[in-house]
Each structure stands twice: as C-alpha cells, then as structure tokens.
Amino acid sequence: MSTLPPIAPAPAAVPAPGAFAHTEFRFTTGLRSGETATVWGANGEELLTYRSFAGVIGTVAALLAGIVGVAGLASTLFLFAEGAPLRATVVLILTIVFTACIAYLAPRTEVTLFETGQPALTLSQRSIFPAATYTLTTPNGTRLAEIRKAPLSRFGRNRWTILHEGRYLGEAAEASLFGALVRKLYGKFSRRFETDVLVTHGGVEAARILRRPDPSGRADLLQIFNDTLDRRVLVGVATLILGREP
C-alpha cells in the first residue's frame, strides 16, 4: 500500500484576492469546447470567465492508455508465469511504447480564468499517463499547486491529489465508491446519479463540489467551508472537475 507524502501544514488564513474571496462559486457546464464559461457568485454576480475545454478526445486517450497499460501488464505477468520470459519482455516493451505514443499524441489541457478581462489563474496539463497531472499558476508564474489524478480513477472512484512543491496538501475524491460506479453507468442520463466531490486537508473537509442537485436544485457548485486550503487552489480543482469530463 503506497504511503502519501507528509501533509503540509495549513497555510495561514489570509484574505483571498478579488473574486476568490467568495465562498460559493457556481459553474456553467454543458458548453462546447471554446465557448465562454462563466463562474457566478452566490448572489448571481459574475466572478470569473474561461474558455470551455470540455471534450472527449483527452478522456478517450487517457482511458485507452490505461486499458493498454493494464492489459499489457497482465499479459506480461501471464507470460512470465507460463515460462516465456522472452515473449513477456517483448509484450512489456510494446506496451510501454504504445502507451507512451497515446499519451504523447493526446492534446494537453490549458485554460486561463479571467477576472474582469484580466488573467487570474491558469490550469495547465503536464502529463496524461500514468497519472494525469496539472499545475495551477498565477499570472506572474507562481505555482500554487499540482493536481494529480489517480491512474485507476476511471475504473472506480475518481480521486485527485493536491500537492505543493512535492508536499501533500489534500485531496479531492468522490463521496463513495458505489456512487462513483453508478455515476459512470447512469450519470449521463440523469443528474440525480451524479456524485459530489469532497475536498479535504488532513481529514478536515475544506470544500465540497456539488455535481448532484441539492434539495434547492443547485448543482455545479463549489462550496468553501474554511481556509485550510488556498481558495484559488479550490477554484482551480473545481474548474478541472466541472469543466471537463472527469
């Protein structure tokens, strides 16, 4: 069982700048790639905008790379067990080559959130396999966090690890494994099969991303409960989760 890096201490609670000072962010979803998406505040005020990056190419590429990798590894182990090390080595090499090619050819995500027409936060994808990795940076180039999606998330519960300079800050994960599996099967047909995502730091819930409509009918909403994590990081995580097919 893998061991997570030590949890970084919670940052000092400082006022979040501008639009990020809010505690509720409602995202516009269901847009085509390239259309302008708006992030609204609790009172309906426009907080941020970005170009929608939702699409199926990256999703299919990541899924295909994962299937090729898992199938190739299983075949390699089977051939070794059957006493055919040479064929096992060939299969392993081919698996690595094909997986690397798929990951290299897949388009990378890069999206900038704007506040009143000025860049406020940039989300950039660095890799797609074995783990999809993204960085969050400010307009002056300061790296706020790195977000890594667990390699096997597409086969179970989606989970994103949040790091800063190699230190573990927290994670965002679907509320339950059963709910995640139901969402994968039926979520496209009805929003009531969606699952919420919990964002935690040291076991404390810092925020919640509502994908399933709450009793008031609200969905696609980021609710921030405290300042254990930078609010810009939380908005970046929500943009990644709600802005594309997870």
pLDDT the model gives residue 13: 45
What pLDDT score does 154 carry? 65
- C-beta separation of 40 from 235 below 8 A: no
∠ CA 187-191-194, rounded to 5°: 55
Write the pLDDT tens digit of every residue in 71-80.
888 888 888 8
C-alpha closest to that of 33 among 135, 101, 107: 107
Question: What pLDDT was estimated at residue 246?
Answer: 43
Sign of the alpha-carbon dihedral angle for 90, 95, 98, 104: negative
The length of the chain is 246
* pLDDT value, residue 134: 93
What span, in angstroms and rounded, lies between the C-alpha atoms of 63 and 13?
A: 39
How much is the pLDDT for 110? Answer: 86
3-state secondary structure 181-236: HHHHHHCCCCHHHCCCEEEEECCEEEEEEECCCCCCCCCCEEEECCCCCCHHHHHH
What single DSSP character describes residue 7?
Answer: B
**Regions of the chain short of the pLDDT cut 70:** 1-17, 54-66, 100, 102-108, 128-130, 152-155, 177-193, 244-246
| Nearest-angstrom CA–CA distance, 183 and 174 | 10
Q: How many CA atoms lie within 13 A of 64 on its CB side?
A: 15
**Per-residue pLDDT, 121:** 95
* pLDDT value, residue 77: 87
